[in-house]
Structure 1
Amino acid sequence: MRKKINLSDFSPASPHKYCCKSRNTKITILYQMSRCTIFQLTMEVLRSLRVLAMGAHSPELYNNLGLCCLYAQQLDLIYPCFQRALELAIDPLVKAEIWYNLSYVALTAGDVQLAVQCLNVCLSADASHASALNNLAVLYHKTGKTSLTKAYLTSATTVDPNLPEPQINLEILLND
């Protein structure tokens, strides 16, 4: 049974609020607030906050922080979080996920060309990233490049036959 925890349960003496430097404290509080608005504050969230406060840094953590900053409209912190995630990432699969999320940030900002570039870098790190192939196909379809769209959707379906989006998009493309 999980105990529900409220934001009011955090006292000024709580260790994850005051053990960091001022910039990290802002990020910790932002991370905590955005996680509370998206999910309810559970023990898993408290564990991840504690990991951040103790100084353990990972590319996945900064990747998630970048997305939390995006959802919280903290636009000045988005790119530094992703930059730190890319600096820490060693595994090509992790780098691919970071670039995939950066393409989402670019699309949110309305920069389609940057999103295409991010997806291409994602595919250079992991050529079997089916979601990136699908998203790249959709972006090429928006620019009118139908042959590239079909090629990327076919590749995405081949790479991950269980992913429904490329199959649905390919059916729509073939029916047009």
Structure 2
Amino acid sequence: MSDHSTTIVPALSAYPGKEDKAKEILNWLVAEDIIKPTLSDCVLSASGGYAIAEGARAVIGSAKRGPFDLAVNGLEIVTERQVFDTGGNGVEELICPSCDQDLAAEDWSFIDDWYQGHTNDVVCPVCNTAADIHLFRFTPVWGFSDLGFRFWNLPDLTEAFINRFQQKLGCTVSVVYQRI
């Protein structure tokens, strides 16, 4: 069985006050008993994560039992600019908001300036038009931000939970499903 994650990513390249917001979300998730309050090695990250707690059963969809006994089963909070990709799920299409062309087969170096933090826009290699990276349509969904909340090996999160997360973040979110 391979590991997978579901990451909730604000649709903002540079989230204002990201460290404070990360702490606020962490405190909320601990108060709801969705995660445990101490860092552990429960995620696939050297910086550690927060193990899943019993209250997480209330925010998962179809499999209420959940795989709570896995070694990799927790929340990783990312506070550095990152492309939140789908891993083994790949990308089927990447549509430019200006020319409506599918860029999935193009050289993806046009995203480099965004990744390095030089700009929040990317320039389409087909029409040479700059647009905010969040206007490009990725199928399946990818995320682009300096803040992200990656849940490792949890079943589907409920729509209600994702909506609450979006309210707490105060902006639209991308939900990225990754398989590694």
TM-score tier (shorter): under 0.3
- TM-score computed with the length of structure 2 as normaliser: 0.23
Higher relative contact order (CA 8 A, sep 6+): 2
Instruction: Write 1 or 2 for the structure with the bigger share of strand.
Output: 2
Instruction: Write 1 or 2 for the structure with the bigger share of helix.
Output: 1
Q: Please say which structure displays the higher CA radius of gyration.
A: 1
